Amino acid sequence: MGIRIGILGTRGIPNRYGGFEQCAEYLALGLVEKGHEVWVYNSHTHEYQDKEWRGVNIIHCYDPENKMGTAGQFIYDLNCINDARKRNFDVLLQLGYTSNSIWYRRWPKKCKNVVNMDGLEWKRTKYSRKVQKFLKHAERWAALNADVLIADSVGIQKYLKETYGKPSAFIAYGSDIFNEPNEAILSDYSLTPYKYNMLMARMEPENNIEMIIKGHLESGVDEELIVIGKTENAFGQMLVNTYGNSDKVRFLGAIYDINIINNFRYYSHLYFHGHSVGGTNPSLLEAMGSHALIAAHDNHFNKGVLGDDAFYFLDEHAVAGIIKQVANKQDHMDFVEGNLQKIRDQYNWPRIVDEYEKVLVAAAK
């Protein structure tokens, strides 16, 4: 017999944004297929305005983010929570906590509240000290008031236990394997297969983008480094102004077409992942599933996912050393195949849906 599940914490489905929206879409569809009733909260500005999508119930709530900026996210989450109080959910799954845990006193009392704790948001350098302090409080409110916690990495699971004395269910993020490469896509960007390195990230110091750029330039190789991500913020503009004139570094801006991104990853020589904060990173899993040869920042989050199937760096000199060491991607296909196997075995969406179902059904009892 199925249970009634509400999902909030995203802008909604069908997924138009990535991240938790992608997670919500896979979970909602998978749980419906397993016989559960699922409601997903959507922003009233979401382009999909129907009340049902592929068997999933859609609830639109007022979202003033386009008028108020970040503050609007808090209002949107409050509106979702207030609506959930009127519903007869067995379980309310909250994806993230940054703008909803402040309302923990309003969380529905008639159902179980399950919270995916995301990464260590308060450690992100893009936030001011005041915002970081608030996010630490938000994390605490969520950790102490949720009925069940979900951690998407072993590192986050360990942190939650050590910091708050609370156990959590470890459920990683999911990804797909990309098996439809199309070399012609590269020609639109004047790229040659396996003759460029790449990175894709938000332009934030914690993602070590400048470290990777410096290392690439230090290596002295002929390959170009392509940098994908919006550069409109101050840090992004600094990077463009400092390195944009180099013939070895090309900023492509934001690209939202996942097929283009996956082809870039597939045909890259080296894929650099500089993220240093957070749990299981969706873009890292996508790179693994796209046959990329990965060089990652050396931290326990990345190592917990990649294990021995990657190169690791902590400074630009190590980046340069890796680039000079890897003359031919084909010489390191054991790394590529090892990561593809991880996606097949550990990070595939059907398995992730199964694990969420077990946690949600157990919480509802």
Examine residue 259 and state whether it is found in any structural domain, yes or no.
yes
Query: Do residue 229 and residue 338 come from a single domain?
Result: yes
Going 39 to 42 to 44 to 47, the CA torsion angle's sign is negative
* Closest to 6 in 3D by CA, of 359, 349, 360: 360
Q: How far apart are CA 92 and CA 360, in angstroms?
A: 9
Q: Are residues 267 and 283 in the same domain?
A: yes
Give residue 134's pLDDT.
87
Q: What is the pTM of this model?
A: 0.84
Q: Are residues 120 and 160 in the same domain?
A: yes
Query: Looking at the domain assignment, is residue 227 inside a domain?
Result: yes
Residue 129, token pair as written in the block: 């000290």
262: helix, strand or coil: helix
* pLDDT for res 125: 67
pLDDT at 95: 96
Whether residue 104 contacts residue 145, with contact meaning beta carbons closer than 8 Å, is answered with: yes
Average pLDDT over residues 218-239: 96
Whether the CB-CB separation of 21 and 41 falls below 8 Å is answered with no
Could you give the CA distance from residue 299 to residue 276 in angstroms, rounded to a whole number? Answer: 7
Is 320 in the same domain as 338? Answer: yes
Contact between 165 and 143 under an 8 Å Cβ cutoff? The reply is no
Q: Is 305 part of any domain? A: yes
| 313-349 confidence digits (pLDDT tens) | 999 999 999 999 999 999 999 999 999 999 999 999 9
Handedness of CA 323, 325, 327, 331 (dihedral sign): negative
163 within domain boundaries: yes
Predicted local distance difference test score (pLDDT) of residue 282: 86
Q: Are residues 87 and 193 in the same domain?
A: no
CATH number of the domain that residue 48 is part of: 3.40.50.2000
- In the block, tokens 């302090």 appear at 133
Residue 98 covered by a domain? yes
pLDDT tens track for 206-217 = 999 999 999 999
- The mean predicted confidence, pLDDT, of the chain is 94
Does 179 fall in a domain? Answer: no
Domain that holds residue 201: 184-345
Domains in the chain, number? 2
What is the distance between the alpha carbons of residues 50 and 143, in angstroms, rounded to a whole number? 34
Based on the fold, state whether residues 135 and 27 are members of the same structural domain.
yes
pLDDT by residue (tens digit) across 106-151? 999 999 999 999 866 766 666 778 888 988 899 999 999 999 999 9
Q: Are residues 17 and 130 in the same domain?
A: yes
